[in-house]
């Protein structure tokens, strides 16, 4: 797996704090844990200097005391680099990457709506995907949120019945 080893070597060479944080799962799949304060640099280097020109998606998930964010980046030859970073739930602040990948704005909005992340530098715009009348401070993808928590918050209760 020469290709994957070369990618790992370049990342570790440029960012020594990533040594033993990079795992080659199989051909064309690398996973790396990046500390939040150095995330931007690593991400930018991968996107601009290592040909990871395609952002497939950003996954956010509830990881106990933290929120975990995974940025899935791909090269045109099919190699996917999955960069993971965390932010504590007490202050789930991350920086936007929409200056590098404008198409990523919709994934960042999802992180805000569904997990309660705070994305610094996110361009203004309508929320996605939750409706405008969604109650505040309810983040569906957090593990402690249950659909029952929405009960009784509907507003318009009466139904239209035809005579």
Q: Which is nearer to other proteins, 42 or 115 (CB)?
A: 115
Long-range contacts made by residues 61-68, C-beta under 8 angstroms, separation at least 24? 61/115, 61/141, 62/115, 62/141, 62/142, 62/143, 65/89, 67/92, 67/115, 67/116, 67/117
Asked whether position 157 contacts other proteins by CB under 8 A, the answer is no
Q: Going residue by residue from 37 to 76, which x/- string records binding to other proteins, judged by CB under 8 A?
A: ----------------xxxxx-x-x--------x-x-x-x
Strands 22-26 and 66-74: unpaired
Distance CA 116, CA 110 (A): 9
Binding of other proteins at residue 103 (CB under 8 A)?
yes
Interface residue list for other proteins (CB under 8 A)? 25-26, 28-29, 31, 53-57, 59, 61, 70, 72, 74, 76-78, 80, 82, 101-107, 114, 125-131, 133-134, 140-141, 147, 150, 156, 159-162
């Amino acid at each position: 797996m020469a290709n994957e080893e070369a990618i790992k070597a370049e990342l570790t060479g440029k960012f020594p704090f990533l040594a033993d944080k990079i795992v080659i799962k199989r051909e064309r799949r690398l996973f790396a844990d990046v500390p939040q304060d150095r995330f931007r640099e690593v991400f930018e280097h991968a996107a601009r200097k290592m040909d990871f020109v395609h952002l497939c998606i950003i996954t956010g998930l509830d990881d106990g005391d933290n929120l975990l964010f995974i940025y899935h980046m791909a090269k045109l030859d099919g190699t996917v680099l999955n960069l993971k970073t965390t932010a504590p739930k007490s202050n789930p602040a991350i920086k936007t990457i929409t200056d590098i990948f404008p198409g990523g704005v919709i994934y960042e909005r999802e992180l805000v709506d569904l997990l309660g992340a705070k994305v610094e530098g996110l361009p203004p715009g309508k929320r996605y995907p939750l409706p405008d009348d969604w109650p505040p401070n309810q983040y569906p993808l957090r593990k402690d949120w249950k659909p029952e928590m929405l009960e009784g918050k509907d507003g318009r209760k009466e139904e239209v019945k035809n005579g």
